[in-house]
A = this chain, B = another copy of it.
Amino acid sequence: MRPTRQRLALARLLFEPGHRHVTAEALHGEALAAGVKVSLATIYNTLHQLTTVGLLREIVIDTGKTYFDTNVDDHHHFFLERTGRLIDIPGADVALGALPAAPDGLKIARVDVIIRLSDS
Contact = CB atoms under 8 A, between A and B. Distances in A.
Interface of A: 60-66, 78, 80-81, 87, 89, 93-100, 102-103, 105-120
A98 B62 CA distance: 25
A116 B112 contact: yes
Contact of A111 (B61, B107, B116): B116
A105 B87 contact: no
Contacts of A64: 63-64
Contact of A61 (B60, B102, B110, B116): B60
Contact of A106 (B63, B94, B119): B119
A107 B118 contact: yes
Nearest to A89: B100
B118 A106 contact: yes
Contacts of A113: 96, 111-114
